[in-house]
Chains A and B, each alone.
Chain A
Amino acid sequence: MSSQLTGIAASAGIAIGKAFRYEEPDLTVEKKTDVDAGKEIKNFDAALEKSRAELEDIKEKTRRDMGDEHAEIFSAHLLVLSDPEFVDAVRQKVQDDKVNASFALNELADQFIMMFESMDNEYMKERAADIRDVSKRVLAHLLGKPIVSLAEIKEEVIVVGEDLTPSDTAQLNKEFVKGFVTNIGGRTSHSAIMARSLEIPAVVGTKSVTNDTKQHEMIIVDGISGTVIIGPSEEELAAYRKKYDEYEKQKQEWAKLKNEPSVSKDGVHVELAANIGTPDDLEGVHNNGAEGIGLYRTEFLYMGREELPTEEEQFTAYKKVVESLEGRPVVIRTLDIGGDKELPYLDLPEEMNPFLGFRAIRLCLEMDDMFRTQLRALLRASAYGNLKIMFPMIATLQEFREAKAILEEEKQKLQKEGAEVNDKLELGIMVEIPSTAVMAPQFAKEVDFFSIGTNDLIQYTMAADRMNERVSYLYQPYSPAILSLVKMVIDASHKEGKWTGMCGEMAGDSTAIPLLLGLGLDEFSMSATSVLPARSQLLELSKEEAAKAAEEALTYNTAEEVQDMVEKRFL
C-alpha cells in the first residue's frame, strides 16, 4: 500500500526514484573496560586513515566545484585529524585506562567541544561544530557505520532528510540526485531556494517523511503540487510517469519562448528577470530566457568563508555578471546580512529579534568600511554594462540619503583615481518595510526605482515570522492589505516617471501575476526556472482585464476571496 504526504511545493517538476535516507547513523558509544589496548589503538589509527582519505576526497571535490575558498574548511578538518593534542590524548587514554577507542575518542572530543562552545565568540563556537563533524566521522568508522556524504551518491536517488543545510546542498550532484523531500522548511527556506536554482524537484515541510520512508523505497516527488507518494502502486507509477512526460513536454513548449518578448495579449511589455546568488547562476539565467537580473543577492560572496571579501574579489564577480548580461539590466543588492543570515567572522551579538534588529543597511551604515569596499567594487563594475545598485531594508529617507552620500563620496574618489564609473548609474531601494511603502510618494522623488521584496514585506506587514510554521497561515501574498501597499509603491513611482519591480517569491507566482500586471508592475524578478512559465502565462493575459481584476481585489475582504476570483478568471 502506498502512502501519501503533503508538503510545500518548493521546486517544480516530477521525480520518481529510490529514496536515499540522509541521516546520521546511531553513534551511541558503550564503555568497555579491560580491552586489548594495542588492538584498540590499531583500530583507531585505521579509522583515522579512512577518515583522512574521505576528507581529502571531499576537499578535492569541493575545490574543483566551488573553489579554494570553500575547500579551506576541509583543510582545517584534516588538521584536527592529525592534531597531536587530540589524537595522542585518545591513544594515551586507551593505553592508561584500558578503555575502548570509541569511548576515549568520544570523551576527548566532548572536552574540546565544550571548551570551544564555552568561548564568548561566535566564530569559536562554530569551531566546536567542526570538531564534532570530524570526530563523528572517525567514530563512525570505529563503529563500522560510516557516514555517507551527499557528495558520494553515485546512483539516481531522491534524498530524504530532516532538512538540508547550505553545505549539504553544495554537495548535491544533479546528475544523481533527482529530487529531495524534507521534514521542515518553507518556500523561502534555504533548501527550497537552492532546489529551484539547481532545478531539482523538491517538496519541503512534510513533517514526517523521514519516519514514513524506508531506505531504497520507491518514492514519487511532485514538486508542482507538493505531494509525495511513498511506495507507489503500479497505477500511481504509471500516472506519474505520464505526468512527468507531460511536464517535460510542457518544459519544451516553454523553451520555445526563450527568445520571445514578454508581452501581454493586448501588447503591454513587462520585464521578466531572474534572481541570482552567485555568478554560477548565470547559466540558468541564459537558459531560461530572462531579460535581466532583478536581484543579485551579494550575501553569498560574504558567506562560507573566514573573512570579508576584498574589493578585487567582489569587482571580479560583479563584472562577470554585468558583462554576461550584455547591456541588459542587472540590479545588485548591497549586503543584506543579519536576520537569518549570519557572518560568524563579524562576531555580532545575538539579538532577541534578529529580523527586527541590526541587519542589512542598518549594519552597513554603521560598519561603513565594509560598505565602502562593496560600493567601490560595484561602481567599478558599473563601467562594464547596465548595473543598478539597490539598498536593502530602507525604513527612512535619512537612511537612503546617508547611503547615497557614501556612494557619492566613493564615486568621486574613484573618479579622482582615474577609474571608469558609469555616471548615470541608477540607484534604487528595496521596499520591504511598510513605512517605506507608505512613504513611497516621498521616496519616489529621490530614488530611481523601487523593488518590492515581498517575503519580508508580508512578514513585516502581518507581523508574522515566516520561519514559524504555527503562524504561516498569515503569510498571505494575496491579502488586500499587501496588494494595497504594492499599488501605493507602483503608483508613486509612475507619478515621478520611475519604475517598480518585485523580487520576492510573489513575482513568479501564477496567481499573483495577473494582479501584479493589473497593478502596473514594470519588472518581475523570480527564480530563473519560473521565467518561461511566467512568460507563457503573460502571453495569454490582457492587461486591461487584469487591471479590472486588481482594482476589484483591492475592495475584497480576505485573501481567499482574491485567490478564488483570480483562479476563476485567469487560471
Chain B
Amino acid sequence: MAEKTYNITAETGIHARPATQLVNKAGQFESEITLNYKGKSVNLKSIMGVMSLGVGQGSEVSIKAEGPDEEEAISALDEVMKQGLAE
C-alpha cells in the first residue's frame, strides 16, 4: 500500500475544480484509492464521496492507494495536489 499526507492550502478547500481534477486522475488507475479525512475514508474515484467530506482550508488529509499501480497512482495524484491545492 502507498500513502501520502497533505495539508490543504487552497482557500476554498477541495471544491469542485480541484475535486474534479483529483477524481479524474484517480479514475485512470486500477488500484483502489481512498481519500481520508477526520477518520472518514471515501473512494477517491467518486466525486460525490470526495465532495461529501467538505474538506476546507487548513485540513490534514491523506491519500492511500492499494493495487497493481499504487505507486504510479500516488505520484500522479501528488502532482495534482501540489498544483496550488495542498503541500
Chain A residues engaging chain B, CB cutoff 8 angstroms: 72-73, 75-76, 79-80, 82-86, 112, 115-116, 119, 121, 123-124, 127, 131, 306-308, 345
**Set A72, A83, A127: member contacting B46, Cβ < 8 A:** A83
B1 at the interface (CB under 8 A from A): no
Q: Are A86 and B46 in contact (CB under 8 A)?
A: yes
Residues of B within 8 A of A116 (CB): 51-52
* 4 closest A-B pairs by CB: A85-B46, A79-B47, A83-B46, A306-B16
In the complex, identify which listed stretch (B17-25, B61-69, B71-79) lies at the interface while the others stay far away.
B17-25
Cα(A131)–Cα(B19), bound, Å: 15
Question: Quick check: B52 and A82 within 8 Å, CB to CB?
Answer: no
In the bound assembly, the distance between CA atoms of A76 and B43 in angstroms comes to 16
From B45, B48, B52, B54, residue with most partner A Cβ within 10 Å: B48
A/B interface sample: 10 pairs, CB < 8 A: A72-B20, A73-B16, A79-B20, A79-B24, A83-B45, A83-B47, A84-B45, A127-B16, A131-B48, A307-B17
Residue numbers in B under 8 Å from A85 (CB-CB): 42-43, 46, 48-49
Does B5 count as interface, using CB distance less than 8 angstroms? Answer: no
Q: With A72-B17, A72-B20, A79-B20 in contact, is A127–B51 under 8 Å at CB?
A: yes
**Within 8 Å CB of B20, what residues of A?**
72, 75-76, 79
* Separation of A72 and B23 alpha carbons in the complex (Å): 14
Q: Does B11 contact A (CB under 8 A)?
A: yes
- Residues on B with beta carbons closer than 8 Å to the beta carbon of A112: 48
| Residues of chain B with a CB closer than 8 A to A124's CB | 51, 54
Is B7 interfacial (CB-CB < 8 Å)? no
Hey, what's the 0/1 contact readout for B35-61 against A, CB within 8 Å counting as 1? 000000011011111011010000000
Chain B residue nearest to A82 in the complex (CB):
B27
* Minimal Cβ-Cβ distance residue in B for A346: B12
CA distance A116 to B48 in the complex (A): 9
Q: Name B54's contact: one of A72, A76, A119 (CB within 8 Å).
A: A119
Q: Which of A119, A306, A308 contacts B15 (CB 8 A)?
A: A306
**Once bound together, how far apart are the Cα atoms of A416 and B16, in whole Å?**
37
Instruction: Report the minimal beta-carbon distance from A58 to chain B, rounded to whole angstroms.
Output: 16
Closest A-chain residue to B43, C-beta based?
A: A85
- Please report the C-alpha to C-alpha distance between residue A528 and residue B46 in the assembled complex, in whole angstroms: 46
Q: Which of B15, B46, B51, B52 contacts A307 (CB 8 A)?
A: B15
**Is there contact, CB below 8 Å, between A307 and B43?**
no
- CB contacts (< 8 Å) of B19 on chain A: these are 76
